[in-house]
Amino acid sequence: MDNKKKLVEIINRLKKEYPEPKIALNYRNPFELLVATMLSAQATDVHINKVTETLFKKYKSAKDYADVPMDRLKKDISSINFYNNKAKNIQASARLIIEKFNSKVPKTMEELISLPGVARKTANIILSNAYEINEGIAVDTHVKRLAYRLGLTKHEDPVKIEKDLMAITPKEDWSNISHLLIFHGRKICQAKKPRHMECALYDICPSRNI
């Protein structure tokens, strides 16, 4: 089975396991999704949702984040890893969005990655989930691990992994494949001890004996 056929089979099987693949972060608008995604690096979605439940009640617009004293914003997100840098990037992005993009989160990859702290992964998440635009595939630690284990890439670099996945994934599933691999990575194909006997992909996985 070549990788294109394998990828289609992977998607079909995982859709049966996870029939409603969608992002686990809670948000009500594109800017809240941007904030939540920026906060989520090296943190669990469960914890981020707990923090943003209060945060999003306190700050309702890009202007709120742009104007808040930095010490206060840092305190509000202090339970999250790397909160100092994340607070700085969120505020700098808020100010740039106000100044350059008419207070609206931009809808192109080029514009999104011009924001402080935003790389392709975050930009892809914003585009696909907030705007239903499939520009690429979001590659997080789960996607990276599963793509490698499933033999869909030989690379370690997220940008190269993304290119490999885009080449074999139907464009309409670019958003789905990311969600499906993330869900499967959390539940079954875990980093330290994958649960092979419960895996819907066991028979087509070249790493099943690890």
Among 50, 63, 140, 163, the one annotated catalytic: 140
Q: Of the candidates 115, 41, 50, which has an alpha carbon nearest to the alpha carbon of residue 76?
A: 50
Is the alpha carbon torsion for 176, 177, 182, 184 positive or negative? Answer: positive
Establish whether 67 is a catalytic residue.
Answer: no
Establish whether 140 is a catalytic residue.
Answer: yes
What span, in angstroms and rounded, lies between the C-alpha atoms of 157 and 43?
20
What span, in angstroms and rounded, lies between the C-alpha atoms of 174 and 137?
5
Tokens representing 165 are 């996945």
Among 86, 121, 144, 173, the one annotated catalytic: 121
In sequence order, which residues have a C-beta less than 8 Å from that of residue 188 and are 6 or more positions away? 194, 195, 198, 199, 200
In sequence order, which residues have a C-beta less than 8 Å from that of residue 183 and are 6 or more positions away? 14, 17, 18, 21
Q: Which residues does the annotation mark as catalytic?
A: 121, 140
